[in-house]
Amino acid sequence: MSRGRIRDGFADILVGAYAADSASVALFYGAPDRFSGAFEVANADAVLEPGAIQPWSTIGLGDVDLAGGAEFALTTRGGDLHVFEGTPTQRGGLVGLDDALAQFSPEQPGDGFGVSVAAGDIDGDGRRDLVVGAPGSNAAGFQTGSAYVFLGASDAATDRRASDADLVIRGQTHRTESDFEFHDVLGSEVTVGDVDGDGFDDLVVGAPSDFVAGAHGGRALLVYGGDVRGE
């Protein structure tokens, strides 16, 4: 479940219902004194294709396209991440994947791409950037995990692949003296914010199974904003 202001100044609520054959995502618009009592998906202000999209995770992103509304992202079980506009033309009735502002596809099928998502201005150019975690990525070893940064996502009303990311952060495999392996599962959580107050949003990436502090001790990686291109 996520919340954010789509456009009218009231916080709205986005709820995912992950049933096997009737999955849906429902959007309820905020209003004074509205949220009390019980709500049903059938009474939502907007519903994303019930039963067809198989949502895996949903998250509010803020104003990604700089159009004045709050966008939200939906990851399907197939691994694609879809970003939807928070404008009046996209807000009512039944919404399909064809209505998405942009689509981002995984580097590898089944790598958990989109389990965690965040948005912010990492390079300080005034445009929103998108960060996507894939904790099941095997690109650097079994379930080492990856995180991808797409700069200028506010300009990208198009399809992009993880291999097109401007910055890729890879997890590691750690082997103990008894030859036991631990895998970072990096990208399980990602978040964006200006940690050091320099005007650039910084990136924090979680690696819950990192071995630095012992078995499954975990750690969080901090990447300062600025020129972040590369791997």
- Rounded to two decimals, what is the model's pTM? 0.79
**pLDDT of the chain along its 231 residues, tens only?**
444 444 456 677 777 766 655 666 777 777 777 666 777 777 777 777 654 455 556 666 665 555 555 677 777 777 788 887 765 444 556 667 777 778 899 998 889 898 888 888 899 888 888 899 999 999 888 889 999 999 876 565 568 899 889 999 998 886 665 555 567 899 999 999 999 999 999 999 998 887 766 666 688 899 999 877 655
pLDDT of residue 147: 95
How far apart are alpha carbons 40 and 46 in whole angstroms?
12
Residues present in the chain in total = 231
Residues facing 47 on adjacent strands? 26, 94
pLDDT of residue 59: 66
How far apart are alpha carbons 165 and 143 in whole angstroms?
19
pLDDT of residue 187: 92
**One-letter amino acid for residue 187 of the chain:** G
